[in-house]
Structure 1
Amino acid sequence: MNFMMVLTTLSWLDALALAAILLAWGGLGAWIEAENVARPSVTVLMAHYRRAWMEELINRDGRVFDATILTNLRQGTAFFASGAMLATGGLLTLIGNSDQLIVVARDLTLEEETALIWQIKLLLTVVLLTQAVLRFVWSNRLFGYCAVLMAAVPNDPTDPRALPRAGKAAEINIRAAFNFNRGMRAIYFALGSLAWLLGPVPLIAAVLVISYVIWNRDFASASREVMLSDGEQL
């Protein structure tokens, strides 16, 4: 299956729906991670609190609390990575079994389509899930780097190495969080991409719904209002 074959196999409406989900996925990610904007996202607001966390780390005698938080963050990345890997394996098995794929296709829609069309549609979900796995795995590793940097922060506020090392730990922690969020967005759009099995119009509708859900959680959620409720300057 080459790129030209894909283009000639898909209808113009299918191509439009495919472009819509890819643009929404990439565009929302760039919007959410933009820092110098009038209305920052929850992701950006949390980055400020992550920096504050590492600054407080310098003055904390017992760092068990910090270690517990970081362990929980790493466990979250491992959980989602393993789940996405299992889903990817299941879809690849289905794509490789043309007969079973046709049976599933006939159960989902009344339209007569070739196995190639269904393989292309499921391949989009596989690509999104694979991207999620890679993001979660990298996020897990970055949280590991962060743990080492945190351990290297002197427990003495007067030590000239303390603040710079805490700053490095914060930036690595932020990068880990960004990658985790990218993985989550890939999961959201992977779920939405399954609507393509019902046709291009359901896929476009799913893209709109998923985009709104992601936008609402980062720009209009109650949690965001809580972060800004006391007028604290971040």
Structure 2
Amino acid sequence: MLTVADYIALAFFAILWLGYSWLLRGRTFFGRTSLTHAMTERRREWIYNSLRRDLKMIDTQIMAGLQNGTAFFASTSMFAIGSCFALLGATDKVNAIFADLPYVFSSGTASFELKVGGLTALFAYAFFKFGWSYRLFNYCSILFGSIPMVRDSETDIIAAERAAERVIRMNVIAGGHFNEGLRAIFLSIGYLGWFVNAYVFMATTAIIVVVLTRRQFFSEARLAIMDANPPSILHLSAIRRDMPPDGGSDLSGGL
């Protein structure tokens, strides 16, 4: 049902997926910290900043946003699974379309159904990751409620830090599962190349992994999180030099 090229392409897909996941488990790549690990530090800063706020509406809104985003992708994965089952019911029509397309290797109904089954498994994996992430973000919200108020934090700093660390750890774990589910969604785009032929499958998978690697280690988003933008600091210093000696704003004539 599958050719040798199909097996090679499938193995290539699995190796790139596992290799990219292993790469992100390490902290650096060519001396660069990944975007994911940089965001872990920002999560820590956020939770510790909340220790200095009695009114935590901002923090609860952030938690709600994380949960809503996870729920959206979980629902999307369910719709994708349903679409795959619908595609299995139209196997003959799809094979007839592929048979008329150039450079498409049509290997029969059984092969097509196996490919659709693999795509369904990808979306099912993503759904379980998003579902578990949603539940962990829910636990994180509960743990966040155990963070003491500012006055209590100042009284027992060690207990406050322990409560913050529990929230940070749960938040990081939930974010990790969310990232794994999102990675499966991204790689499913490369998987679609298999419906053309094995060589397109390998090419699209490689392109997706290269794009994801660039975003993790060489993107502008990473630079923004790493605070690698010294011109803004120089600009702030220039503004301070231009301020009046009394430290106020020169608004004479402006009102």
* TM-score relative to the length of structure 2: 0.82
The answer for the alignment partner of 1:127 in structure 2 is: 121
Displacement, 1:105? 3.7
Does structure 2 conserve the Cα–Cα contact (< 8 Å) formed by 1:78 and 1:140?
yes
Aligned equivalent of 2:77, options 60, 72, 84:
84
Aligned equivalent of 2:9, options 13, 17, 22:
17
Q: Between Structure 1 and Structure 2, which shows a larger proportion of helix residues?
A: 1
Instruction: Say which is worse superposed, 62-71 or 223-232, in terms of deviation.
Output: 223-232
Does structure 2 conserve the Cα–Cα contact (< 8 Å) formed by 1:129 and 1:186?
yes
The answer for the alignment partner of 1:199 in structure 2 is: 197
Instruction: Say which is worse superposed, 97-106 or 218-227, in terms of deviation.
Output: 97-106
Displacement, 1:111? 4.0
Measure the CA separation in 1 of the matches of 2:101 and 2:172: 42
Letter in 2 for 1:99: D
Does structure 2 conserve the Cα–Cα contact (< 8 Å) formed by 1:33 and 1:41?
no
Displacement, 1:179? 0.8
Measure the CA separation in 1 of the matches of 2:159 and 2:139: 18
Measure the CA separation in 2 of the matches of 1:82 and 1:15: 31
The answer for the alignment partner of 2:55 in structure 1 is: 62
Letter in 2 for 1:177: G
**Aligned residues: CA RMSD:** 2.0
Aligned equivalent of 2:140, options 121, 135, 146:
146
Q: 1:121 to 1:222 in 2, by over 3 A?
A: same
Q: 1:69 to 1:100 in 2, by over 3 A?
A: same
Q: Does 2:194 align with 1:210?
A: no
Displacement, 1:151? 0.3
Residue 77 of structure 2 aligns to a residue whose secondary structure is helix
Measure the CA separation in 1 of the matches of 2:101 and 2:115: 13
Letter in 1 for 2:154: P
Measure the CA separation in 2 of the matches of 1:85 and 1:107: 31
Aligned equivalent of 1:29, options 9, 13, 21:
21
Measure the CA separation in 1 of the matches of 2:209 and 2:110: 28
Larger Rg: 2
- What is the identity percentage for the equivalent residue pairs of Structure 1 and Structure 2? 31
Q: 1:224 to 1:204 in 2, by over 3 A?
A: same
Report the count of equivalent residues. 224
Q: 1:211 to 1:112 in 2, by over 3 A?
A: closer
Does structure 2 conserve the Cα–Cα contact (< 8 Å) formed by 1:101 and 1:118?
no
Displacement, 1:144? 0.6
Residue 161 of structure 1 aligns to a residue whose secondary structure is helix
Superposition pairs of residues 180-191 of structure 1, within 5 angstroms? 180-191=178-189
The answer for the alignment partner of 1:219 in structure 2 is: 217
- After the TM superposition, which parts of structure 1 deviate over 6 Å for at least 4 consecutive aligned residues? none
Task: Extract unaligned runs of 5+ from structure 2.
Answer: 231-255
Residue 206 of structure 1 aligns to a residue whose secondary structure is helix
* TM-score relative to the length of structure 1: 0.89
Residue by residue, what CA displacement relative to the aligned partner does 1:182-230 show, whole Å, maximum 9, x if unpaired?
1111001111101100000000110111011100110100011122235
Measure the CA separation in 1 of the matches of 2:196 and 2:132: 33
